[in-house]
Chains A and B, each alone.
Chain A
Amino acid sequence: MAFEERNTWTYLVISLIVMLIFGTRIYDATVAGLFDGPDGLRTWARTVLTYIPIAIVMVIIGVIMLNILYGIATGGDDLTMKEDERDRHIGLRGMRVTGAVFSTGWIIAVILLALGSSALQALNLMLIAAWFSDVAGNLVKLFFYRRGY
């Protein structure tokens, strides 16, 4: 398995874990009314910003651990850590899907806002769109890696 494909699996798994944990907390906080009131959106923003570095650290740890485990499993036989042209082409395909999905989610959020949804609902929808676009992009990359290209 290529280095970038291994990393993509890591990104996908971490993304699902982070959103599960993070999404649950955001949902619970929303239901509890922690994001209501004049400082509600500021509290929301601070909550989101708290989870971004956590997610980054989890990805770094996940990549390191997966590559160590892969190295042990393969006896270090195929442990190249290189990104080549095929990886870049597949990465671009993934980015195209990520961009399209996120843009669609963002537009839907803005439309709902124009139709009377609250700012909090719009921001949560954009957050969901960002997560879903990341997952979609990684799935597309894995599809091309498994297929060869």
Chain B
Amino acid sequence: MGAPPISNTIRRLRFETGEMTQKGLAEAVGVTRQTIVAIENAKYSPTLELAFKIAKAFGKPLEEVFQYDAPED
């Protein structure tokens, strides 16, 4: 079981958004801080709904927050 093929720029966007904390982002989107940590470290791929909530929290389009790293065939 490898890492999910989805990367993200959440850490950078947090710092750019008034140095938002992981806890602050977690509270904004309704999940635990540990889930935000797992997402930032690309250990966990959020559901579509959560991904949209995170993007909305930063005021950014989804593609700017999450990137799909297609596996090589």
Contact = CB atoms under 8 A, between A and B. Distances in A.
Nearest to A90: B44
Nearest to A149: B44
Interface string A1-24: 111010000000000000000000
Interface string B47-64: 100100000000000000
Chain A interface category by residue count: 10 to 19
Contacts of A87: 32, 35
A117 to B, nearest CB: 38
Nearest to A77: B23
Contacts of B32: 2-3, 80, 82, 84, 86-87
B11 interface: no
Given A85-B50, A86-B38, A149 B43 contact: yes
Chain B interface category by residue count: 10 to 19
B34 A5 contact: yes
B43 A84 contact: no
A85 B33 contact: no
Contact of B35 (A1, A78, A85): A85
A147 interface: yes
Interface in A111-149: 145, 147-149
Contacts of B34: 1-2, 5, 86, 145
Nearest to A5: B34
A140 to B, nearest CB: 12
Interface of A: 1-3, 5, 78, 80, 82, 84-87, 145, 147-149
Given A80-B26, A85-B31, A85-B35, 20 more contacts: A1-B34, A2-B32, A2-B34, A2-B35, A78-B33, A80-B32, A82-B31, A84-B30, A84-B32, A84-B35, A85-B50, A86-B31, A86-B38, A87-B35, A147-B43, A148-B37, A148-B38, A148-B44, A149-B43, A149-B44
